[in-house]
Amino acid sequence: MTSAQSVTVTTRPRTAVLAALALLISAAAPPAHAGLAEAQAAYNAGDFQAALKELVPAAEAGDAEAQALVAGMYARGQGTTADLGAAARWYERAADQGHLYATTMLGWFYMRGMGVEQDAVKGYRLLSRAAARGQPRAVEMKQAVAEKALTGLDDLVTAEAHSQSIDRATAFFRVGRSFALGHGVPRLPEVATEAFRRAAERGHSAAQYEYARRLDAGDGVKEDAEAAFSWFRKA
């Protein structure tokens, strides 16, 4: 979705990578300890090729944290040529094991079409999965997606009205339904409700009913029984 694609995401700084490496080392089995310690030392010294060389065996052996770190290095082109496809594959391997940061980044890759075929619905689902378990970056990204969708709502409706040769009230209703059901876009209740509200204010009867229902249930908007009753009467 265009509105979501424009959100800027910064990569985590070297200090965060070092902290993750330290955590990996502390949890590693004794035979792998030396190599992982060397990876941290090499990364700290800016020798990314050496760091990657030490991390890859652990990643290939199935260590989710190492997989996520290798993914990040491929994404940034550290110690290797930047390769978003390889980064996405390593993030996916880590995400499959429940690694929350990897799940978050894989979600963002799908949102943006970075190294994978763009799929905003799948990307948002991955972000939601990580956010539900408290991953802070995922929570921030989910909020950013919703905010950008709200900001770009008028543009989406204009495009829908133009492409389908329909009035704006109907376009707002259709866009709202898409966000409500997650058809082709992330399922965003607050964006759906706002679209229904704007369609309702333009006299669209189905939107008036849907907006009333959402006000009554507190779905994507603060619950307001009095306002809901008023909109039900208009519908």
Check whether residue 109 and residue 84 sit in a common domain: yes
Q: How far apart are CA 231 and CA 214, in angstroms?
A: 10
The residue with tokens 């965060």 is: 16
Q: Is 200 a member of any domain?
A: yes
Expressed as residue numbers, the domain containing 57 is 2-135
pLDDT score recorded for residue 152: 95
pLDDT score recorded for residue 37: 77
Tell me the C-alpha to C-alpha distance, in Å, between residue 228 and each of 178, 180, 209: 22, 18, 9
Give 23's Cβ-side CA count (13 Å radius).
12
Check whether residue 162 and residue 208 sit in a common domain: yes
Check whether residue 64 and residue 170 sit in a common domain: no
Sign of CA dihedral 141, 126, 103, 79: negative
Q: How far apart are CA 55 and CA 69, in angstroms?
A: 8
Q: Is 145 a member of any domain?
A: no
Q: If you average pLDDT over every residue of the chain, what do you get?
A: 87
The residue with tokens 């995400």 is: 95
pLDDT score recorded for residue 35: 61
Query: Taking a C-beta distance cutoff of 8 angstroms, is the pair 111, 5 a contact?
Result: yes
What is the tally of structural domains in the chain?
A: 2
Backbone phi, psi, residue 185, to 5°: -140, 165
Check whether residue 44 and residue 128 sit in a common domain: yes
pLDDT score recorded for residue 119: 95
Q: Is 101 a member of any domain?
A: yes
| Confidence (pTM) | 0.77
Check whether residue 80 and residue 11 sit in a common domain: yes
Give per-residue pLDDT as tens, 140-182. 999 999 999 999 999 999 999 999 999 999 999 999 999 999 9
Residue 173, domain CATH? 1.25.40.10
Residues of the chain with confidence (pLDDT) below 50:
1-14, 17-19, 21-34
CA 220 to chain centre: 19
Here the tokens at position 36 are 């992982």
Check whether residue 26 and residue 130 sit in a common domain: yes
3-state secondary structure 14-44: HHHHHHHHHHHHHHCCHHHHHHHHHHHHHHH
pLDDT score recorded for residue 72: 95
